Amino acid sequence: MRIVLLGAPGSGKGTQAALMVEHLNLPHISTGDLLRAAVKAGSDLGLRAKAVIDRGELVSDDIMLGLLEERLSRPDALGGFILDGYPRNVAQAEALDELLDRLEQPVDEALQIDVDIEMVIERIAKRAKQEGRSDDTEEVVRNRMKVYADQTEPVIEFYANKAILTRVLGQGDIDDVFQRIKGVLQIRSES
Ligand code: ADP
């Protein structure tokens, strides 16, 4: 199964993706993680990306598509994947569509984790203490939320129009949310 996970920063995508990985035995492809690895490795791309990430802006569509193509071409992605952090705007959604059409591997399910913004800000503040991410300061988080509302929310509509979008309530504890997701995946795998 090829799954796209959608949701605001701090909506719990990464946490739920980790549970889904175990449940479905599919690789978790997080563009945020791919970028952070590039930054850590000190590659050219990583250095260029870091400044953008630290402002809470989006890295250019070209760079992202290159990174994603490289990752999707690895053998472990052939049997499906859980994509987290991509697409983040409609141009990326269209590019992904084109790429997967070419590979004859279209997205099966777009899963939106729906959360309350206040809750998300609380969660990120907590994560900032635990992980020390340089883009988790209040000002940058506010900008990430704005970028999400302006650029990423239209992606939800994009998948709704394809009739593969399901909205899951992201409130409650981790396992409650995961049970909801499992229910959705069960239905999708039977259809
Ligand atoms: P979040 O918690 O905001 O969902 P991620 O770990 O997914 O965080 O991403 C962190 C940052 O990496 C983003 O704010 C953005 O700068 C960059 N990034 C990740 N994925 C993409 C993408 N598909 N397109 C552009 N930039 C991206």
Tens of pLDDT, residues 65-79: 999 999 999 999 999
pTM to 2 decimal places:
0.92
> Domain 2-27+79-190 maps to which CATH number in 3.40.50.300, 3.90.45.10, 1.20.1250.20, 3.40.190.10?
3.40.50.300
Instruction: Verify whether ligand 1 is closer than 6 Å to residue 7 (CB atom).
Output: no
Whole-number pLDDT of residue 122: 83
- Distances, alpha carbon 164 to alpha carbons 7, 9, 61, 70, in Å: 15, 22, 23, 25
Instruction: Verify whether ligand 1 is closer than 6 Å to residue 16 (CB atom).
Output: no
172-177 long-range contacts, CB within 8 A, separation 24+: 174/12, 174/15, 174/16, 174/19, 177/12, 177/16, 177/113
Whole-number pLDDT of residue 189: 87
Closest CA to 148 of 56, 12, 64: 56
| Percent of the residues in the chain that have a pLDDT greater than 70, as a whole number | 100
Tens of pLDDT, residues 89-126: 999 999 999 999 998 999 999 999 999 988 888 888 88
pLDDT for residue 21 is more than 90: yes
What's the 41 CA to ligand 1 centre distance in angstroms? 17
Active site (annotated) includes residue 142: no
CB-based contact 114:16 (threshold 8 Å) = no
Ligand 1 atom, smallest distance to 57 CA: 16
How many Å apart are CA 109 and CA 187, to the nearest integer?
11
Active site (annotated) includes residue 144: yes
Q: How confident is the model at residue 138 (pLDDT cuts 50, 70, 90)?
A: confident
Inter-helix orientation angle 44-55/61-72, to 10°: 120
Whole-number pLDDT of residue 131: 87
Q: How confident is the model at residue 180 (pLDDT cuts 50, 70, 90)?
A: very high
